[in-house]
Amino acid sequence: MLQAPQRSALSGPALVRLLARLAEADVAESRQSLADRLSQWLGWTDAIALSSALDGKPPAVAGGARAFGRAEEEECTRVRRSLVSAIASDSVLADSRRRGSSSLSARMSALRVAVDTQTDYAVFRQRYLALQQSMETAIGTLRGRLRALLATQAPALARLAVVDAVMERALGERERALLSAVPGLLGGHFERLKEGEARRVAEAEATDASNAATPRASDAWLDAFRKDMQSVLLAELDVRFQPVEGLLAALRAC
């Protein structure tokens, strides 16, 4: 018996593996090293700035040094929890059980399923972009605050703060371009699930043609999509938070 070829396991961030699965894409591992890939993303002005930050004289430590402590740790934790909560509690991403928890849910169930089945992906795309913007703003502010604190600690840490600022400027546009493609990949997943539900209903109608009862549409596919979208958002949050984790590790070690 012929068997469908299995996709090779893909390593890398959870976001990449999750998107590859949802897009049903067989993504090959890159043979380039991280340094080679970064060199393609950096312009010559970025390369000069990075070289100066790495090889030049360590920047002078800013005045008013203060020790890294619980306040900074708690602020990082607060920001992350706030973003996770925004994703988890978003009304557009609530599944059918939470959306139908009112006393009128029983009577409105059939109508809600019919409306959900006709949902346009544009609603989800708008929410994804809004949550992306929230992540970018909150994490960017937090990253800047940690850099400012690094600059007051020691010459080596002040150099790290400069390197991080250069990398953020150099890679920010590339990062935004790559992450802006995520809603489009999710849109394809949405349409495949929606088409699958339409086929299920059509097949049920054909099978039960002699039955007077109309096959009932289900919103299970839409709940599955909402869950997948939340998973992608949380995986993206992990990727966006990596520079903050690096700065935190440097501060903890000083």
Whole-number Å distance between alpha carbons of 54 and 49:
9
Q: Annotate 46-107 with three-state secondary structure.
A: HHHHHHHHHHCCCCCCCCCCCCCCHHHHHHHHHHHHHHHHHHHCCHHHCCHHHHCCCCCHHH
Exposed / middle / buried, residue 54 (Cβ in 10 Å: 0-12, 13-18, 19+)? exposed
Q: How far separated are the first and last CA of the chain, in Å rounded?
A: 61
Domain ranges of the chain: 37-57+66-96+133-253
- In this prediction the pTM is 0.82
Q: What is the residue-level pLDDT of the chain in tens, covering all 254 positions?
A: 334 344 455 556 899 899 999 988 776 666 777 777 777 888 878 888 888 888 877 777 766 666 677 888 899 999 999 999 999 999 999 876 665 554 444 444 443 444 444 568 999 999 999 999 999 999 999 999 999 888 888 888 889 999 999 999 988 988 999 999 999 999 999 999 999 988 888 887 777 655 555 556 678 899 999 999 999 999 999 999 999 999 999 988 87
Distance CA 174, CA 40 (A): 11
